[in-house]
Amino acid sequence: MISLSIVIPAYNESGNFAKGVLDQIHEYLAIKKYPHEVIVVDDGSNDDTPELVKKFIADKPTWQLIANPHQGKAQTVAAGIAKAKYDAILFTDFDQATPIFEVEKLLPFLKRGYDVVIGSREVEGSKRLGEPWYRHLMGRGFNLFVNLFAFGNIHDTQCGFKLFKTPVAQKLFSQLLVYGHKAETRAFTGAFDVEVLYLAHKQGYSIAEVPVFWTHVITNRVSPVKDSLRMFLDLIRIRLADLTGQYNK
């Protein structure tokens, strides 16, 4: 029987909290027989997210909250992964754009021997709702660029729903350079998924891409033009770090 650690990054999530997204996760896990834990990692929120989460988990012994300084999503996820204690780790977005029950589609691939299983909005069988056409076009353009520079065979690196064998996740996230420890001034997500998957590919870990259901959640955190440009530049930094041997140190 598999055991599962679920890592949920959080930053100014009071609006999403009001939608009952954590209730959905709790209700789903309540009917599951496998051992599990939920690790919510707050990325230095400046709203009442930490207080709301503390109150929510007060009577839930399998849940915990980690308070982080604001460092961006990569290090928020990394903090949760470092604390995980079970066989596999799923990281999933607080807004539950991909609902928690979609993990049922990913778990069988770990049993087949894959090290990393990523939810995808682009492979056959996936379904996406409500995304503006320009966001979809920009995402496709970025993934094309990623495949030219890095992988050649991953259709969607950015879906925030990924499952790892725990030792693999803890190793990969400890090796981040472009998205290593650094201060952030806003809720920039960036291409840390690309750096993680690039390292996994470089080190020979097996990666499965699995279709999932995904709904676009409106947010004011993303600046499509500025953030896309920064992600392109970060992809170049990832390649340069590899070419100069920094990942080998």
Domain containing residue 173: CATH number: 3.90.550.10
When pLDDT is averaged across residues 1-5 and rounded to a whole number, the result is 93
Count of CA atoms in the C-beta half-sphere (13 A) of 9 = 24
The number of folded domains in the chain is 1
CA angle 6, 7, 13 (to 5 degrees): 120
User: Looking at 108-112, 120-124, 135-139, 153-157, which range is the least confident one?
Assistant: 135-139
Residue 21 has pLDDT above 90, yes or no: yes
Domain that holds residue 128: 4-248
Residue 134 has pLDDT above 80, yes or no: no
pTM of the model: 0.92
What pLDDT shows up at residue 225? 65
Residue 86 reports pLDDT greater than 80: yes
Comparing CA positions, the residue from 211, 170, 168, 173 lying closest to residue 192 is 173
- Is the confidence at residue 38, as pLDDT, over 90? yes
- Provide mean pLDDT across the span 51-75: 96
| Radius of gyration of the chain from its Cα atoms, rounded to whole angstroms | 17
Q: How far apart are the first and last CA of the chain?
A: 37
Q: What is the pLDDT of residue 41?
A: 98
Average pLDDT over residues 158-163: 94
